[in-house]
Amino acid sequence: MSSPSDVTFPGGTLITRLRVYDTLAPDGQRGGTPHVHLLCTELYLTLQGTGQVELLDASGPNIVDLSPGSALVFTPGTIHRLLNPNRDLDILVIMANNGLPENGDNTPTFPEHVLSDADAFAQHMVADTLADAYHRRDLAVEGYLALKAAFEHSHQAGQVALTAFYEHATRLMQPHLDAWRDVVTAGPLAVAQQSLAHLTALQATQMDYLHQAQHATVAPDAIERIGFCGHLSPYPAP
């Protein structure tokens, strides 16, 4: 008989509720920290309020409106920034790889002088207080605006600037890759392997695992965390 600890979110995902920051960044926009995930796909489902997501990838800058019920999915390499102009944006975030985007796979678009210095990067990543989080966001906005400006100059200039950012992010995240591999192996890979084992059992008309069905009610953490884009209330896996 399996135990409640065997209950996982579908596909090795994780979900968290996010109240997007509503304070002003250096460019006069209200919202979160522009950043990228190197490994993880992410989904934003708008629960209430309205806002936008600024996106930047190899095709250049883009912006997507968010309204209740809308969902946006983006893959690794997509720089993204949540905007909360009406100060009411509340979303549900579904993250790949057991929530790795909120636990390591996060590189803000800091300016070149920070990205090129691992010690400076680590220093500016720390956010023990809201003031720290706003400083981290504002610094990332500075670098993000430089990336946008490069694309506005020419697509080729934008591609060069974006490639340089990817190179910095890849280099800075090297010390974490082995740990990320462990997360992927224990999370989505294990779930996929279990599904394949169940298929094999069904093909053999073996239904024992169905008798081990279980369920679990999950509530968000009562204490919010300081995140990149706002105040986080994770739904921890059972």
Edge-first strand order for the sheet with 35-36 is 60-66, 51-57, 79-83, 35-36, 107-108
Query: Tell me: the pLDDT tens digits for 188-199?
Result: 999 999 999 999
Confidence check: pLDDT of 115 > 70: yes
Mean pLDDT, range 94-104, rounded to an integer: 93
Query: Tell me: the pLDDT tens digits for 205-217?
Result: 999 999 999 998 9
Task: Give residue 236's pLDDT band: very low, low, confident or very high (50, 70, 90).
Answer: confident
Confidence check: pLDDT of 76 > 50: yes
pTM metric for this prediction: 0.93
pLDDT at 191: 95
pLDDT at 70: 94
pLDDT at 5: 56
Domains along the chain with CATH numbers: 4-230 (2.60.120.10)
Distance of CA 161 to the CA centre of its chain: 22
Q: How many Å apart are CA 222 and CA 3, to the nearest integer?
A: 25
Confidence check: pLDDT of 138 > 60: yes
pLDDT at 2: 40
Query: Tell me: the pLDDT tens digits for 41-60?
Result: 999 999 999 999 999 999 99
Q: Smallest Cα–Cα separation from 82: which of 227, 233, 180, 237?
A: 227
DSSP state for residue 189 in the 8-state scheme: I
Mean pLDDT, range 220-233, rounded to an integer: 93
